[in-house]
Amino acid sequence: MKTRPITRQQLVAHTLDGTTRMVPDDITIDVPVPPRDWDQIGINVVTGIVALALLGCVGFSTASIGDLLARVTPAAAAYGAAALFDLVWIGCTIIEWLGRYTPDRVFKARIGGYLGLTVAMGAVAAHGWLAGNAATGLVGAAVSGLAKGLWAVLLDYQAVPLTKRDAAFFAQELSESAVELARVPVRRRVTRARALVEAERRALDAERGSANPDQSEQPADNPAPGPQPTLAGPMTIKDAVRTALDSGIRDPERVLNYVRNVADANAREDTVARYMRLVG
């Protein structure tokens, strides 16, 4: 078994002048080396070949289709548009790769990739035919086909088929996570809307001269019966109690609410009750 040395730190006892302390010290140990994963190495090699094939494909197609389009358009625009021919089917293939565990969701990407590839190969072949060398056009078109074919083989190898139950399980997992993600902007919009409604309400209340027009703190749909005292500005608790009683309010809770609104927000219930007995 092959091994390789590695350096680690451990605490060791070290004594000086009769005092022992645990201090870090470096030690070298041999650990076994796992065998080479030739399967993974092979996948990495094929992935590298696919990447090189895509680069060559994009370069050749862009040059060929760009030269074709440059006959009727400026060169910069022609070559910029030519790059899209291969980038379209490459983008569709990447989406197909991302959805390899949910094949039902990538059907459009798969069809779009092959359609984009067909258009790109046709444009390259047309360039060779117009240039007077049909064979060169066909061989150039085959470059894109070979790159796409190699990538398709790699995708089929990596995308292990799932059973119907496994696919349904993953679909539910993705659905639940999508709902959780969708709740974030929805909550944000709801919160913003409620904040705007509250701001509008406060602004309208301020225009009417009161941030809380219902001074009795009673629900708007169930106003308390009986007369309401007139606000006369700042006053003492005793004056507030007298004003409430003079207005015909006898309910201790309503008197307390009035005192807290116009005199002292922290007025105690027993204090208000005492003044009610005194004034009444």
Same domain, yes or no: 16 and 109: no
- 242 within domain boundaries: yes
- 171 within domain boundaries: no
- 15 within domain boundaries: yes
Please write the tens of the pLDDT for every residue from 144-177.
899 889 988 888 888 777 888 888 888 888 888 8
Residue 213 is predicted with a pLDDT of: 47
Residue 119 is predicted with a pLDDT of: 93
Same domain, yes or no: 26 and 46: no
What are 86-89's contacts with CB under 8 Å, separation 24+? 86/57, 86/58, 86/61, 86/62, 86/116, 86/120, 86/144, 87/58, 88/112, 88/116, 88/119, 88/120, 89/113, 89/114, 89/115, 89/116, 89/117, 89/120, 89/144, 89/148
Same domain, yes or no: 114 and 143: yes
Of the chain, the percentage scoring pLDDT greater than 70 comes to 90
Same domain, yes or no: 48 and 92: yes
Residue where one domain finishes, among candidates 128, 162, 196: 162
Same domain, yes or no: 140 and 56: yes
Residue where one domain finishes, among candidates 120, 140, 162: 162
- 46 within domain boundaries: yes
In angstroms, the CA 236 to CA 259 distance is: 9
Please write the tens of the pLDDT for every residue from 172-208.
888 888 888 888 888 888 888 888 888 788 777 776 6
Please write the tens of the pLDDT for every residue from 64-89.
999 999 988 898 999 999 989 999 99
Residue 73 is predicted with a pLDDT of: 87
Residue 48 is predicted with a pLDDT of: 92
Same domain, yes or no: 84 and 151: yes
In angstroms, the CA 88 to CA 132 distance is: 28
Q: Given a cut of 80, is residue 93 above it in pLDDT?
A: yes
In angstroms, the CA 195 to CA 193 distance is: 5
Q: Given a cut of 50, is residue 212 above it in pLDDT?
A: no
Residue 229 is predicted with a pLDDT of: 52
- 200 within domain boundaries: no
Q: Please state the domain count of the chain.
A: 3
Residue 234 is predicted with a pLDDT of: 58
Q: What is the mean pLDDT of residues 49-75?
A: 90
Q: What is the mean pLDDT of residues 1-18?
A: 86
Same domain, yes or no: 158 and 125: yes
* Full domain range(s) for residue 248: 237-279
- 197 within domain boundaries: no
Same domain, yes or no: 25 and 85: no
Q: CB neighbours of 260 closer than 8 A, spacing ≥ 6?
A: 266, 267
Q: Given a cut of 60, is residue 7 above it in pLDDT?
A: yes
- 11 within domain boundaries: yes
Lowest-confidence range among 56-65, 104-113, 207-216?
A: 207-216
Same domain, yes or no: 13 and 58: no
Residue 231 is predicted with a pLDDT of: 47
- The reported pTM is 0.54
- 216 within domain boundaries: no
Residue 122 is predicted with a pLDDT of: 92
Same domain, yes or no: 47 and 147: yes
Residue 123: pLDDT band (50, 70, 90) is very high
Same domain, yes or no: 27 and 64: no
Residue 207 is predicted with a pLDDT of: 67
Please write the tens of the pLDDT for every residue from 213-267.
454 444 444 444 444 554 444 578 888 888 887 777 888 888 888 888 887 788 8
Same domain, yes or no: 51 and 158: yes
Residue where one domain finishes, among candidates 134, 162, 190: 162
Q: What is the mean pLDDT of residues 92-99?
A: 89
